[in-house]
Structure 1
Amino acid sequence: MVQASFFWYGSWADGCILKDVFPSLFFICEQKNQCVNRFRFPSNLDAHQLGWNFHLPLSLSNFNPSKAQELHLFLSRFWLDESGVDQLIWTASPGATFSVADAINILVQSSGLPPPVWPKIIWGNNVPFKIMVFHWLAIKQCIPVRDILASRSILPPNVSTLCVFCMTDIETIDHLLIHCKWSSSILSDLFRWWNIRWIIPRSIVDFSFDWFYGMGIKASKFWKLIGPATMWAIWMARNDFIFNGKFTCRSIIVRNIKLKVFLWASSLKLVHGLQAYVWDQNPFLFCQ
């Protein structure tokens, strides 16, 4: 504990920075950049009790004795373990283990804003991690579609920014994943599969809220898988067409989405006993 923590600059004393709490003593101290062990010595009265030498000039040692006494009193509350190893401890979590979730909760509570929903919608979803990351990048408008590549001067001037499927609108993230006639026809097939009439959402953010909160309690557990699987399938089909010149027809993509979601649902114990062809024909049987 005492080997690497700076006496004046470190936060070893209950989180306090001593140079800020006792500025007058810090100003006259002759060893400002030393560690804690250079300031203490064992007491003759108690092996666990420490004495302190603040390295004040002899001519000034009695200049402000009350401040020195105040610092002695303040430090008398601490017991230093000389056998331990210096380490930073996260005091906001049980077990002193740092977690991103606890850090986010502290920031949210201090800001007075409502808790963010994305950790639940994206990172709490039961899909492969790479699809979670893709979903997050889509929400943040960071997927490398042609519009974004052109804005960063990455896309060559001779390459069009139009959508590779419809060739009528600029390829933005929302257009590619939702608004393109080709993409919306895939989504329409999936909604029709569930006997749902839908209105094309404004953005991928709205679409994410729709499939997470707007499908009913029994169906939502499947749509939480269908939504990300559909976005990923459209993105992979787009890349396959651009880089390999291979166009995948809509019916094959829809079939693959259904099969992929069925396999995910099976691993999550959301489906039992029925075969994949039953899932393809009547998914409501799995919502009983």
Structure 2
Amino acid sequence: MEVLRNVSLSSEKDKWYWFDDKQFGFSVKSVKKSLTAERETSHPPNFIWCKWLPIKYNIMAWRGNLDRLPTRVNLRRKNVDIPSVLCPLYNDYEETVDHLFTTCSVALQVWSVFSVWCNIPLLFFFEFKDILESHKLIKSGKKAEKIIYRLGIIACWCIWKGRNDTIFNQRKCSSSDIIREFKSRGYAWVKNRTSCKYIIWADWCKYPLYML
């Protein structure tokens, strides 16, 4: 009865309302706005989606930015019964999103080669979000920034894929395997999804921005 006292009735037709946007109703934009508002202030306010990368690459990076990837630490937080929370690549530290992509020995080697390959200052990351901002170090124009940003996401995907192969396929992943894979995947997507249709594999392997 106490609950019903605060209910006011009217002759209007019943309607469903989306709590965060009563004026326009439910939308993906309003959901994104709501999720962004609840994120910690340490995260960047927006994630830039890349149209010429597969959607699974974007979703992986987006989830990494929100610390929503199923790393071992995150699984343990959800009370999933797992034998260990140590990083599966080296078993040296707990596997968090930030550790796997920024401070794991494999990731450090990947980003070191990435920096030399792209002819940019040596990349040192502390959080996953730092990877998504690394393209800002490029001073060669917007097109170069876009390519570096996309290559960073591809590298993250290859690290995540290598981690999963180690766990589920018992196939030990090395930094050299990841490096070869992100170079080849990057070449395929840039060549087939951008205006850079005539890039050459040999030149790409030396420097991915040679055609700009």
**Aligned pairs for 1:78-93 within 5 A:** none
Please name the residue that 1:152 is paired with.
78
**Aligned pairs for 1:33-72 within 5 A:** none
Cα distance in 2, alignment partners of residues 99 and 160 from structure 1 = 39
- What 5-or-longer segments of structure 1 have no aligned partner? 1-6, 13-89, 109-115
Cα distance in 2, alignment partners of residues 209 and 130 from structure 1 = 20
Matched, 1:260 2:185: yes
Cα distance in 1, alignment partners of residues 209 and 124 from structure 2 = 23
Cα distance in 2, alignment partners of residues 103 and 143 from structure 1 = 19
Preserved CA contact (<8 Å) 2:119 2:207: no
Matched, 1:118 2:46: yes
Percent identity of the aligned residues? Answer: 25
Please name the residue that 1:177 is paired with.
101
Letter in 2 for 1:220: E
Please name the residue that 2:41 is paired with.
none
Preserved CA contact (<8 Å) 1:146 1:155: no
Cα distance in 2, alignment partners of residues 144 and 103 from structure 1 = 22
TM-score by length of 2: 0.76
Matched, 1:10 2:43: no
Cα distance in 2, alignment partners of residues 273 and 227 from structure 1 = 22
Q: Which one of 93, 113, 129 corresponds to residue 189 of structure 1?
A: 113
Q: CA RMSD in A?
A: 2.9
Larger radius of gyration: 1
Question: 1:155, CA displacement in angstroms?
Answer: 2.9
Cα distance in 2, alignment partners of residues 11 and 153 from structure 1 = 40
Q: 1:161–1:102: structure 2 CA closer, same or farther, 3 Å change rule?
A: closer
Cα distance in 1, alignment partners of residues 27 and 74 from structure 2 = 33
- What 5-or-longer segments of structure 2 have no aligned partner? 1-9, 16-21, 37-43
Preserved CA contact (<8 Å) 2:151 2:186: yes
- Number of equivalences: 188
Q: 1:215–1:134: structure 2 CA closer, same or farther, 3 Å change rule?
A: same
Question: 1:153, CA displacement in angstroms?
Answer: 2.0
Cα distance in 2, alignment partners of residues 169 and 104 from structure 1 = 32
Q: Which one of 138, 162, 167 corresponds to residue 215 of structure 1?
A: 138
Question: 1:272, CA displacement in angstroms?
Answer: 3.3
Letter in 2 for 1:187: W
Please name the residue that 1:281 is paired with.
206
Letter in 2 for 1:241: T
Preserved CA contact (<8 Å) 1:229 1:261: yes
Which protein, 1 or 2, shows the higher relative CO under an 8 Å CA cutoff with sep ≥ 6?
A: 2
Please name the residue that 2:28 is paired with.
100
Matched, 1:162 2:86: yes
Cα distance in 2, alignment partners of residues 11 and 152 from structure 1 = 38
